[in-house]
Amino acid sequence: MTLLPVFVALVVGWVALRGFLAYPLLPGWAKTVALCSAPVAALAWLAVVTADDAFLFPETAPCPAEPLRKGIIGDGAVRGVSTAFPPRAFCVWEDGTTYDLATGAETVFWGCLSVIAVTLALGLRYALRHPQALLGPPGRGAVAVTRT
């Protein structure tokens, strides 16, 4: 049963993307910005969910095992926490103090996600109002049959 919602989401997304690309009133730069926002959102998401990882350089970890000065940020042991969606990364100390990581990347992610949502909504609206526009110009891809 979980494949059906995924398939429906993919089909609706594909129709929305085709409708957005066929939308005649949008200039090319607007379509370029919308299409470039998807990889930027993916990179921002990756930056957020890996912000608490210290596997490459443990000595420069964003969540230090020992506080630099006791009592400044938090007391006790610390651990890094990240969530996949909504993307968020933060450090949590034993006393409950939290420190957000990668807030700039979170802002970029949400900005790009809103651009993607608006453009797909525009495309879906156009595709539902003008379904013939999704087929392309007349005669494209048609094979001419001639009698000899």
Tens place of pLDDT per residue across the chain (148 aa): 688 988 999 999 888 988 888 888 888 888 899 899 999 999 999 988 888 776 666 666 777 665 555 555 555 677 777 788 888 888 887 777 777 888 888 999 999 999 999 999 998 998 888 888 777 665 554 444 456 5
Distance CA 126, CA 15 (A): 10
Quote the pLDDT of residue 60.
67
Q: The tokens of 141 are what?
A: 């891809």
Helical H segments across 2-143, by residue range: 3-22, 28-49, 103-129
Is residue 75 within 8 A of residue 86, CB to CB? The reply is no
Quote the pLDDT of residue 107.
92
Query: From the CB of residue 134, how many other CB atoms can be counted at a distance below 10 Å?
Result: 14
Quote the pLDDT of residue 40.
95
Across-strand partners of 92?
A: 79, 98
**Entry pTM:** 0.74
Query: What are the residues whose beta carbons fall under 8 Å from the beta carbon of 42, sequence distance 6 or more?
Result: none
90-125 burial, b at 16+ Cβ within 10 Å, e below that, comes to bbbbeeeeeeebbeebbebbeebbebbeebbebbbe
Quote the pLDDT of residue 133.
77
Quote the pLDDT of residue 146.
54
